[in-house]
Chains A and B, each alone.
Chain A
């Protein structure tokens, strides 16, 4: 006869309510782990998604995810020419915030290296990859844009041709993918008035020098399109990403590029490590500490609940001792109740979490490893929680059943 189950059935309502309460607490413990996992996964989704073997960034910077990195587009050609490199393309990434329907629309803008990369590797859930090199975009569903919807960014209007899921930046903003030219156009967009003023300023500067005064065509050029002025650099890219040829040695390739003096290179693993140690690290540690606190609080609450349940049973426990029940029967009663409560609370927490977590604004990623880990923690908590109750039960004298 299982005394623990009989006692639970006897006071089922209270047990169920208590278990749901503990379950919700465990759901939060599980959720904190999920938020942590989601944070890490979100941070790595772009770096993993682009499939780069080597990241080439501005010299002495930690790359576009850690700080501003600017490289001239010509670096793509230089990288492509390095022995061992299969192909290279520009990487453009920046965050913008616009307003749509009276609400802020914040998105990560990712430039795809057209025509090498049209977004075929993205986690598309609807629509198609980019089919032309301008005015199309692939948006993450978290941005709330619909397929076929048109969105004005800068001076151009872009049509949503594809939708992705869980393609977000390390800050949790949904990512929209454009060709790198479009991404740069969005990044370096200036209002018409600003362009006019800059051209006038250029003309003024040209007048101030002898060359400008003696060569009228220079003045004309200075007030023209900036792209046609050789002295002005083209729009910069954030980084250049390279894929290695089969059998190529990443160290050797990096060695060549590091000798250039204007770039720094990282392998994909180094880039991920920089990302995690940089922008994500503090948030990660904060969540971890909070999770540890919650686990301790859960343990204390469970211990108090089991202790209280034991206090309610002191008379039956004394009676069991009186009729000769061995200690292991009494220990089993308390321990099994604690384990049943822990197990059911874990299940309750998991089920509620399944329903709730997808509604969170940021991804809550609960892996099987996390589930097993939390289950292990619950097991330990349950045993620990029952110790106080067992200690109390062992101190009860059998003659207390008589008095």
Chain B
């Protein structure tokens, strides 16, 4: 997939229902995320942020628009790649608000399973899982079940799982919502490090404006419309952010 952007989303529109019950959740949303770039997506509740992630994450395809991941057109209007689930497990990593670990697998197994799902031998997937957990500072907790991990540790394991398939794109939906500010910032910095180290594009939906300096790009979403964040918009909602990352 070479140097192609991690994600190109063009004119994504998502409509739920029809007639009187029709709700337009996304309106012509477009975004480009380069490899190694960390993008924040801001916006009030109900603005359509999660819907956008579900669309580009191939979980809930858009009604209209085009999604290209790692240079490969996955969704183009009504046409979609045959096996979206397979593409998802091979090219996309997910991190969500709740830790979303499989409760009957320990930390290492939760990461290892991702490797096995993309066809790696169990031993190789295990080795890679342990390396990732070590790299993310939770190697010592590899044998612990999710309920034995703190919120921050759970999120680190989730990030490790998201990295296990060496994805082109990581989608994170409010990953720090359940964490205190210190741990929240640590997780955001983790995304930045991961993106820069692994060349992965990362989109983080967040309400936490205190960590916006971590991101390379910031987008805002309101009423289903997506646009690069302006200084006034961000400041109005959360105070100053790093100037060079915002559009004038």
A contact set with B: CB distance below 8 Å: 1, 3, 6-7, 9-11, 315-316, 319-326, 329, 398-399, 401-402
Residues of A close to B100: CB separation below 8 A: 319, 322, 401-402
Q: Tally chain B residues at the interface, Cβ within 8 Å.
A: 29
Q: Which 9 pairs between the two chains have the least Cβ-Cβ distance?
A: A324-B89, A10-B104, A324-B88, A7-B104, A316-B102, A324-B85, A398-B59, A399-B59, A6-B104
Q: Which residue of A lies closest to B164 (CB)?
A: A323
Contact (Cβ within 8 A) A323 B54:
no
Return chain A residues, CB-CB under 8 Å to B103.
10, 315-316
Complex Cα distance, B122 from A316, in Å, reads: 20
CB distance from B88 to the nearest CB of A (A): 4
Judge whether B116 and A402 touch: CB under 8 Å. no
Number of A-B contacts (CB under 8 A): 66
B86 within 8 A of A: yes
Docked-complex contact A6 and B59, CB < 8 angstroms: no
Which of B3-11, B107-115, B194-202 contacts the other chain? Answer: B107-115
Most buried by B among A3, A11, A324, A401: A324
Chain B residues contacting A321 (CB-CB under 8 Å) are 85
In whole angstroms, how far apart are the Cα atoms of A321 and B117 in the complex?
Answer: 11
Beyond A319-B102, A401-B100, whether A1 also contacts B86 by CB under 8 A is: no
State whether the Cβ of B166 lies closer than 8 Å to any Cβ in chain A: no
Question: B34 in the interface, Cβ–Cβ < 8 Å?
Answer: no
Cβ distance A331 to chain B, nearest Cβ, rounded Å: 14
What string of 1s and 0s marks CB contacts (under 8 Å) between B64-100 and chain A?
0000000000000000000001111110101011001
Complex CA gap A6/B103 in Å reads 10
Q: A1-B109, A399-B59 are in contact. Are A323 and B86 (CB under 8 A)?
A: no
Cα distance A1–B102 when bound, in Å?
13
Cα–Cα distance between A319 and B103 once the two chains are bound (Å): 11
Minimum CB–CB distance from B121 to chain A (whole Å) comes to 11
Distance between Cα atoms of A322 and B117 in the complex (Å): 12
A320-B89 Cα distance, complex, nearest whole Å: 10
Minimum C-beta distance from A401 to chain B (A): 6
Is A326 touching B85 in the complex (CB atoms < 8 A)? yes
Q: Are B60 and A399 in contact (CB under 8 A)?
A: yes
Residues of A within 8 A of B153 (CB): none
List of B residues within 8 angstroms of A9 by Cβ: 104
Given the complex, which residues of A lie within 8 Å of B92, measured CB to CB? 324
Q: Are B122 and A1 in contact (CB under 8 A)?
A: yes
A203 CA / B104 CA spacing, docked (Å): 96
CB of A6 within 8 A of CB of B109, answer yes
The 8 Å CB contact of A324, one of B60, B90, B112, is: B90
B86: nearest chain-A partner, CB-CB: A324
CB-defined contacts of A326 to chain B, threshold 8 Å: 85-86, 117
Can you pick out 14 interface pairs between chain A and chain B where the beta carbons lie within 8 Å of each other? Answer: A3-B105, A6-B104, A6-B105, A9-B104, A319-B102, A322-B100, A323-B88, A323-B113, A323-B117, A323-B161, A324-B90, A325-B113, A325-B117, A402-B96
B154-183 contacts to A (CB < 8 Å) = 161, 173
From 188 to 225 in chain B, residues with beta carbon under 8 angstroms from any chain A beta carbon are none
Question: Which residues in A have their C-beta under 8 angstroms from that of B117?
Answer: 323-326, 329
Q: Is B50 part of the binding interface, using a Cβ–Cβ cutoff of 8 Å? A: yes
